[in-house]
Structure 1
Amino acid sequence: MTGRIVELSVEGNRRRTRLSPEDRRAQLLHCALAAFAEHGIARATHSHVAARAGVSIPAVYSYFRTRDDLVAATLAEVETFLDGLLADSLARKTLPADEALTILARLFTDSVEEQPDRIRVWLDWSTGTGSDRWPAYLEVLGRLHHAAEATIRRGQKANDIPAWINPKAAARIFIGGGHTVALMKFAGATKKEVDAALLQLVGGATGWTRTPE
């Protein structure tokens, strides 16, 4: 049975809450995302997570026995998050291609405010070209590229996207543009600036452009 376990203290009949193992692990992962977002993938440690969770360092080690375990679990959270964005956009093949691409761009952009720690860890992960985590990043990036490319090809078959668009190149630029827009938002870009960038991003991938309102 998952959930919170409530214990009754003999002294003063005070009730205190102890998290179940499942909830404690989820809490530690949440704190790990925040720690990795602040300190970076290469520097975040069990002690950073423990301090954020308000638990002992050995308590974190009991769930993540090595730093590699902690890093892998944290990056897996980011990977699951990105896969969820794909499921809510490009995987919905009943949507017109340009609409699906627009939804993904908007979901990713909104995530900068709603899930900033996950986006910061993703951005940091993308810079680790010399780390042992780079192959895993390339695997995730490849899935993003493939999904965007398949969506563009689907749009071409429906005659919604012109044949002169190179699907593979357009997909790579489109996904890469998400990093740029995220950086814009972290740098304090206005909504009008972000919206203009999104229109340009989707327009480049689909062969059409519109003037921002």
Structure 2
Amino acid sequence: MTAVRTARTRLAPQVRRAQLLECALAAFAEHGVARATHSHVAERAGVSVPAVHSYFRTRDDLVTAVLGEVVAYLLDIVSSSLGGPKTVAGALKTLAVRFAAAAREQPDMIKVWLDWSTGVRADVWPHYMALLEKLHRIARRVFSRGKREGVLPASLNVKAAARLYLGGGHTLALMQFADASESEVEALIALIVTSVMAETPDTPLPEVDRT
């Protein structure tokens, strides 16, 4: 009886690497940045573990490649949303809407981002902080422009506003995985945009009673 063997499809190296990277992104989304391995990627791609190692020799190489995809994706969303001939309010709303949509359109990418953002003890944490600084820098330019144009209050602290605003985008992404309703998402988008455009209060916040 003749054995039937299925021929493995031979892909060009750049095509195979792209396929493995896509499978790696899905594996990291499922298992987390700290736990995903070459074996998880090989299983998804239908190849041997050594085949994955031939493109990503070490786990550090694999992690670097996956997180590099996330960095490029987030920088593109933030820079393209906040850039261009938009009003300040229009730019801020555009990015908030895109943050919410990204979790539906690229769930693996966003899951890896959310998992990465919690790894304060991991070796990759400094790289996440570097990414945050790049995102904050882009947002700060928009808030500074708003102050120059007079559409944002002169008292606005652009550094604090950027942190608050991008933190809201992080929450919007989380809400998509919590099955939040469309009205809840829209309400948060409106709140995020209006809160960072509001006048900074002159009255200091009351002290908290810690007794």
TM-score (norm. length: structure 1): 0.87
Equivalent residues, number: 194
Taking the TM superposition and a 5 Å limit, the aligned residue runs for 1:146-165 are 146-165=137-156
CA shift for structure 1 position 89 = 1.2
Matched, 1:207 2:205: no
Instruction: Find out whether 1:37 has 2:20 as its counterpart.
Output: no
Alpha-carbon separation, structure 2, partners of 1:16 and 1:176: 45
Tell me the equivalent position of 1:168: 159
Report matched runs for 1:55-70 at 5 Å. Answer: 55-70=47-62
Q: 154-163 or 66-75, which moves further after superposition?
A: 154-163
The 5 Å alignment of 1:118-133 reads 118-133=109-124
How big is each residue's C-alpha offset from its partner over 1:44-85, in whole Å with a ceiling of 9 and x where there is no partner?
000000000111111000000000000000000000101110
User: Could you tell me how far 1:132 is from its partner in structure 2?
Assistant: 1.1
The one-letter code sitting in structure 1 at the alignment partner of 2:181 is T
Q: Structure 1 CA distance, aligned partners of 2:63 and 2:7? A: 35
Quote the Cα distance in structure 1 between the aligned partners of 2:41 and 2:8: 22
Q: CA RMSD in A?
A: 1.5
Give secondary structure in 2 for the equivalent of 1:176.
helix
Q: 1:15 to 1:54 in 2, by over 3 A?
A: closer
Aligned-pair CA distance for 1:135: 0.8
Mark the runs of 5 or more structure 1 residues left unpaired by the alignment: 1-13, 209-213
- The structure with the largest strand share of the pair is 1
What is the identity, as a one-letter code, of the residue corresponding to 2:28? F
Q: 2:63 aligns with which of 48, 71, 85?
A: 71
1:83 alignment counterpart: 75
- For residue 153 of structure 1, what is the amino acid of its counterpart? S
Corresponding residue for residue 12 of structure 2: 20
Unaligned ranges ≥5, structure 2:
1-5, 200-211
Identical-pair percentage: 55
| Aligned equivalents of 1:70, 1:137: Cα separation in 2 | 16
- Residues in 2 aligned to 1:16 and 1:184: alpha-carbon distance in whole angstroms: 41
- 1:104 corresponds in structure 2 to 95
> Deviation at 1:177?
1.0
Choose the corresponding residue for 2:187, options 187, 191, 196: 196
Q: Which amino acid aligns with 1:179?
A: H
Look up the match of 1:116. Answer: 107
- Counterpart position of 2:86: 95
Is this contact kept in 1: 2:165–2:196, CA < 8 A?
A: yes
**Is 2:135 the counterpart of 1:144?**
yes
Q: 1:176 & 1:206 partners in 2: Cα distance?
A: 15
Q: How many Å separate the matches in 2 of 1:193 and 1:96?
A: 25
Quote the residue 1:49 is aligned against.
41
Cα distance in 1, alignment partners of residues 41 and 181 from structure 2: 33
Bigger relative contact order, structure 1 or 2, given CA contacts below 8 A and separation 6+? 2
CA distance 1:16–1:64, change in 2 (3 Å): closer
Paired residue type of 1:32? A
DSSP 3-state at the match of 2:10: strand
